[in-house]
Structure 1
Amino acid sequence: MKVKRYLVGSVPEALPMIRSELGSDAVILSTKEIKTGGFLGLFGKRRIEVIAAVETGGAAAPVRKPVAPSAPIVRPAAPAAFAPNGATPPLAAQAAMSAADAMSAAALEQPPAPRIAASLAASSYAGSPAHVLTSPAPAPTAQPLTGLQEELLQEVRGLKTWMRQMSAQQAQAALSGPAKKLLERLEQQEVTVDCRERLLQELQADPGFDALSEDGEALWKAAKERIMDWLQPYEPNEDAFTPKAIHFVGPTGVGKTTTIAKLAALETLKNKRSVGLITADTYRIAAVDQLRTYGDILGVPLEVVFSPAETVRAFQQLAGRDLILMDTAGRNYRSELQISEVSSLLRAGEGSETCLVLSLTARTSDMEAVALPFIRNGVNKVIFTKLDETRIYGSLLNLVLEHGLQPLYLAFGQTVPDDLEPFNSLKYSSLLLGDYEDV
């Protein structure tokens, strides 16, 4: 018996060498992962030791040379982030990502031994006789990944991520100056990578993108129109507050009380509706007095509640009003106890809904942490405040596109009711991108 050891990066790499040196009757005795020197610290420290053998007593099977294919094999290219004009990433990146995808699927679908046998069988040259390298066995049932398999899978995923990032960087480097400037602007506005990629891909789908990307003004106009197309379905109509009772919830300091005062003034003075106010914000000093002052100026009654039973009484007192706006205390929405306290005060049933109030000065991740518990319970309307206190507006776009929240109003300043406007996609896209010459 002739035994030979191979040190390779993966088992498939050893198959041609085994067939070339030992013949088609060779079998793999064992595979083992070992440590070797790395390459720039990127996944290069692990190698696979493959031990193969062939019986030498009988006549050796002739070694067949591979038959050259009659036509080149075309493999589908992996999608590239920021690929200009639909260009694909470099061939090396495509090959690495395709191999990583295949290794990921194999690691999840087959245990090690059947995988090796299947790989050897699949690598037979065209026109060569079939050979059974291992004893036939029934198809294995799904088994949990071992520690080694899980570790290898994590490394493959890391390699795929790294290759995609490298491909994206190379593709982005090939973009025109205005296109790079657009991506930089979106990144400064903290727009997520997914939204940036989507915008660029949709712009590249335009047959005239090559000429468009060289004209900064035209590219900016096209990008604003695309963002408007995304957001127009979420614009509020004139009947945004058709329910009789609206509860306003949100974290501390986002301006719920001032926003409620602005809405009460808007509905009373412009829409000529009779409005009633309820406040459960008894935690913050002078919160009740602040809302009572606004109510006295507008001639709007105010009810103060401390418990769920008092909430029922307050709604009964204001039953004759066209619209009831309820203020709740700003609480820590990472605390289940405090969330339940607020929820117990809200009136359930038809004719009422909950509106989330968020500050644009917060990061997207912080907004999501607050919004997700409400989104899971059917809350899909939001008012964004403190527009005048920030120059970063991307979080609104992120939340709308990723979670389907409908922005009703944008609030800015302290003037009641002037510093409150219904959300408008045209104005927002202009704020988000600015003017090309000024960016």
Structure 2
Amino acid sequence: MRVKRYVVNALPEAVSRIRTELGKDAVILDTKEIKVGGFMGMFRKKKMEVIAAVETNSPKQPDPAPRKATPEVHAVVEQILQTAQRGTSAGTAVMEPPAAAAPSPAAVEAQPPKSAERENKEQYILNEIRDLREYMIKLSKQQSLLHEMSEPMLQLKERLQQQELDEEWIEKLVEELLEKQKRENRSFQKEEVWQQAKSIMAGWLEPFSNADISSEARIVHFVGPTGVGKTTTIAKLAADQTIKRGKKVGFITSDTYRIAAVDQLRTYANILNVPLEVVFSPSDLPKAYKGLAERDLIFMDTAGRNFRSELYVSEVISLLQSNEPNETILVLSLTGKTTDMSIIADRFTKYGIRKVLFTKLDETTVFGAILNLILKYQLQPTYLASGQTVPDDIERFRVSLYLDKLLGDGENE
């Protein structure tokens, strides 16, 4: 028997190499995930180790045509790969594993039961096949769209990719633009492409627009990771409510992990002539609410933590309980990574938190994360904050102004 080890990025790559190098009769003996490369144990990349073997008396030859279907999982892999190699013109068709001929009762009795390990391996390979099928369908769809797209649409796509908009929404936008062109039986010029794109995305965002601090809420909690600017944002909103709307505002802070955070909010409280209460645990909240009983509106600053951890999220949620009308606003910085913001949004939306406020607008030129998060988690954007000036550097979220930033000037793209 000839045994060979392959280190590849994904199982389909190994199957193709095995078939070419060992022939059609080769079988996969083992698969496992490994890490390779890196420097001093860091920056290592995930790879797949595949062990394959073939009987030495079996001639090494490629598989020129689909084999007769068997119940073996590696045969399913090969048939899928052969179908993919013949072209992706039928990429949207569902590829099902080949049906095996029904064995006789005697044959069934003679077959030994599958071990749990073997079943797990077979299931893993079937999952890889499904992933390959989905990839081929996606690739075929993308290639089809590319052939139909005009130069202005390609420029729009490039702009949105630079803005880190998810491919899901870029593809959906292009499909809608192409459909509009077909209905009107003409090609859009560059300016029209930008205008139509803005109109389509405005329609997507419309159900989530016009969100603000609820007029019925007396207590507003602000949650979010460390460094996003919650404290400064609270001061900006408090100044707006105090100066422009004539409301009596009070502050509560539970951010006792950072002494500087308490001092910063206390400074703002003194400037705005707003009372401040400090709480160290949920048991301190009744006393704090009593101390602010005369206030029309209470803004509560919570501690910034690593909210990728469910534990820290649950700790903060325990501070948000109140018998009075209240709501919670998630604060996220646009300078953060989209992946990290997505994880944090996922953590908090599980508790029903839907309102979001984005900060540090002035520190980035990439705005795709806003649309990604709104559409994926059904978030309601309330404000966009930029800079440190209180109360000026904050404004209500406006769909039209946001899309202007996302799309940029089409003439210069």
Aligned match for 1:380, one of 348, 351, 354: 354
Aligned match for 1:117, one of 80, 101, 104: 101
Q: How is 1:136-147 mapped onto 2 (pairs within 5 angstroms)?
A: 146-147=119-120
Shift of 1:313: 0.6
| 8 Å Cα contact 2:385-2:394 kept in structure 1 | yes
Given the superposition, is the C-alpha separation of residues 146 and 396 from structure 1 closer, same or farther in structure 2, using an over 3 Å criterion?
same
Aligned match for 1:94, one of 89, 92, 95: 89
**2:133 corresponding residue in structure 1:** 160
Given the superposition, is the C-alpha separation of residues 235 and 47 from structure 1 closer, same or farther in structure 2, using an over 3 Å criterion?
same
**1:356 corresponding residue in structure 2:** 330
> How far apart are the structure 2 equivalents of 1:32 and 1:162?
26
> How far apart are the structure 2 equivalents of 1:286 and 1:50?
69
Given the superposition, is the C-alpha separation of residues 342 and 158 from structure 1 closer, same or farther in structure 2, using an over 3 Å criterion?
closer
SS in 2 for 1:205: helix
| 8 Å Cα contact 1:33-1:48 kept in structure 2 | no
SS in 1 for 2:193: helix
Shift of 1:314: 0.7
One-letter identity of the residue aligned with 2:119: T
One-letter identity of the residue aligned with 1:181: Q
SS in 2 for 1:242: coil
Q: How is 1:323-342 mapped onto 2 (pairs within 5 angstroms)?
A: 323-342=297-316
**2:191 corresponding residue in structure 1:** 217
Aligned match for 2:296, one of 310, 316, 322: 322
So what's the TM-score if we normalise by structure 1?
0.69
So what's the TM-score if we normalise by structure 2?
0.73
**2:264 corresponding residue in structure 1:** 290
> How far apart are the structure 2 equivalents of 1:46 and 1:324?
73
Given the superposition, is the C-alpha separation of residues 169 and 203 from structure 1 closer, same or farther in structure 2, using an over 3 Å criterion?
closer
Shift of 1:428: 0.6
> How far apart are the structure 2 equivalents of 1:395 and 1:324?
30
- The superposition leaves residues 38-65 of structure 1 with CA deviations (integer Å, 9 ceiling, x where unpaired) of 98xxxx89975669xxxxxxxxxxxxxx
Shift of 1:357: 0.4
SS in 2 for 1:95: coil
Most deviating of 146-155 and 427-436: 146-155
| 8 Å Cα contact 2:310-2:347 kept in structure 1 | no
- The superposition leaves residues 314-369 of structure 1 with CA deviations (integer Å, 9 ceiling, x where unpaired) of 11111221110000111111334433432333233440121110001112210121
RMSD value over aligned CA atoms? 3.3
Stretches of structure 1 that go unaligned for 5 or more consecutive residues are 1-30, 52-89, 107-114, 119-132, 138-142
Shift of 1:214: 4.3
Q: Does 1:271 align with 2:245?
A: yes
Number of residue pairs the alignment of both structures matches: 339
Q: How is 1:147-186 mapped onto 2 (pairs within 5 angstroms)?
A: 147=120, 149-174=122-147, 175-186=149-160
> How far apart are the structure 2 equivalents of 1:396 and 1:97?
31
**2:30 corresponding residue in structure 1:** none
One-letter identity of the residue aligned with 1:159: L
| 8 Å Cα contact 1:410-1:420 kept in structure 2 | yes
SS in 2 for 1:227: helix
Given the superposition, is the C-alpha separation of residues 203 and 38 from structure 1 closer, same or farther in structure 2, using an over 3 Å criterion?
farther
Which of 1 and 2 has greater Rg?
1
Given the superposition, is the C-alpha separation of residues 156 and 272 from structure 1 closer, same or farther in structure 2, using an over 3 Å criterion?
same
Given the superposition, is the C-alpha separation of residues 155 and 282 from structure 1 closer, same or farther in structure 2, using an over 3 Å criterion?
closer
Given the superposition, is the C-alpha separation of residues 37 and 285 from structure 1 closer, same or farther in structure 2, using an over 3 Å criterion?
farther
**1:420 corresponding residue in structure 2:** 394
**1:197 corresponding residue in structure 2:** 171
> How far apart are the structure 1 equivalents of 2:351 and 2:165?
26
Stretches of structure 2 that go unaligned for 5 or more consecutive residues are 1-23, 28-53, 71-84, 108-113
> How far apart are the structure 2 equivalents of 1:46 and 1:347?
66
| 8 Å Cα contact 1:203-1:209 kept in structure 2 | no
Q: Which runs of 4+ in 1 moved over 6 A?
A: 35-39, 44-47, 209-212
Shift of 1:263: 0.3
Q: Percent identity at matched positions?
A: 47
